[in-house]
Amino acid sequence: MNAQRLMALIVAIVISVPLMFPEGHSIGMVNAILIWSIFAIGFDLVFGVAGMLSFGHAAFFGVGAYTLSLLTMRMGWDFLPALGAAGVIGGALALVFSYFAIRVSGLFFALLTLALSQLIYIMAGTKLRMLTGGVDGIAGVPRPDLFGIDFYDDGNYYFFLLALFVLALLISGLIRISPLGQALKAIKSNEVRAEQIGFNVQRLQRSVFTISGIYAGVSGGLLASLIFYVGPQMLHWSTSGDVVIMVLLGGMGTLFGPILGVAIFEIMREWLSTQTSHWYGILGLIFIISTIGMPKGIAGLIQQLWNRIMPGGKS
């Protein structure tokens, strides 16, 4: 599919949402989709581009949320510097994780990132409860105070999130076509051969893991400000599981696939949660069926349909 056309279509749909739903719950859901999309775009740099399955990203996401909350509420920082700090702390924690986890690969890498993430989760609820509020979390997380705009209005906050979403998408696109992105694709294809031709595999993997941690930290801070709350659930392994499902559902290794996956996941979660208390199990079943039927995700299915309708129209 022509990437420029798809980009224009996605942006046009997203921008038109406030015009179609100027009030109510729909704007809040779209805001959540934008935030989770930032998280998923960053996660796919590790998962889809570099081929590293991580179950530790909940730690970077949650730590980013706590960082923004503590800096704005207890230290009096302005929102934007605190959001930047959330990204830096998320990236720093990812860098620390990488020094341990990248020593192994495959399933062992996934399990080690999971173990490290759960360690942070347990510490947040016990040893660090004076900072984190323990199981009660921290309520009253603020939103930006910029240019006299009321960002406590979800419609106004939407445009703030949209700007960050577009920036995150552009940076991800540039990384994918950069020498770093091309090297990571080579490592994913054949790590041994990539090392033999001179790539410093572990350094490149640490670099993308850190960048992905920055994405996670920023998105965690944004979600905390969206819902005015941060709690230990953001650090739980299920948060990592959610973003894995989103990326697989949309199409890993593609620029727009994770966004599609987030949108479908959030819409299904919102609808199913109003229909049954067993919504998570049903959502998991839908995911399994869709993965079997669409191994390349929604983006892959769209690509196949486009190629059938427009032969020779690949891009």
pLDDT in tens, 139-153: 999 999 888 888 988
* Model pLDDT, residue 312: 56
Residue 308 buriedness (CB in 10 A; 0-12 / 13-18 / 19+): exposed
CA torsion sign for 79, 82, 84, 87 is: negative
pLDDT at 25 over 70: no
If pLDDT is split at 50, 70 and 90, which confidence band does 110 have?
very high
For the chain, the straight-line distance linking the first and the last C-alpha, in angstroms and rounded, comes to 6
Structural domains in the chain, sorted by start: 3-309 (1.10.3470)
Q: What is the mean pLDDT of residues 245-258?
A: 89
As a whole number of angstroms, the distance between CA 213 and CA 218 comes to 9
Greatest pairwise CA separation for the chain in angstroms: 61
pLDDT band at 92 (very low <50, low <70, confident <90, very high): very high
Tell me what percent of the residues of the chain surpass a pLDDT of 70.
Answer: 90
pLDDT in tens, 169-198: 999 999 999 999 999 999 998 888 888 888
Judged against a pLDDT cut of 80, whether residue 15 lies above it is answered with: no
- 293-309 pLDDT, tens digit each: 777 888 777 777 767 77
pLDDT-derived band at 1, boundaries 50, 70, 90: very low
Residue 99's pLDDT band, with cuts at 50, 70 and 90, is very high
Q: Can you tell me whether residue 230 is helix, strand or coil?
A: strand
The least confident of 151-160, 201-210, 298-307 is 298-307
Q: Return the axis-axis angle of helices 201-227 and 25-44, rounded to nearest 10°.
A: 170
pLDDT of 7 over the 70 cut: no
Task: Judge whether residue 311 has pLDDT over 50.
Answer: yes
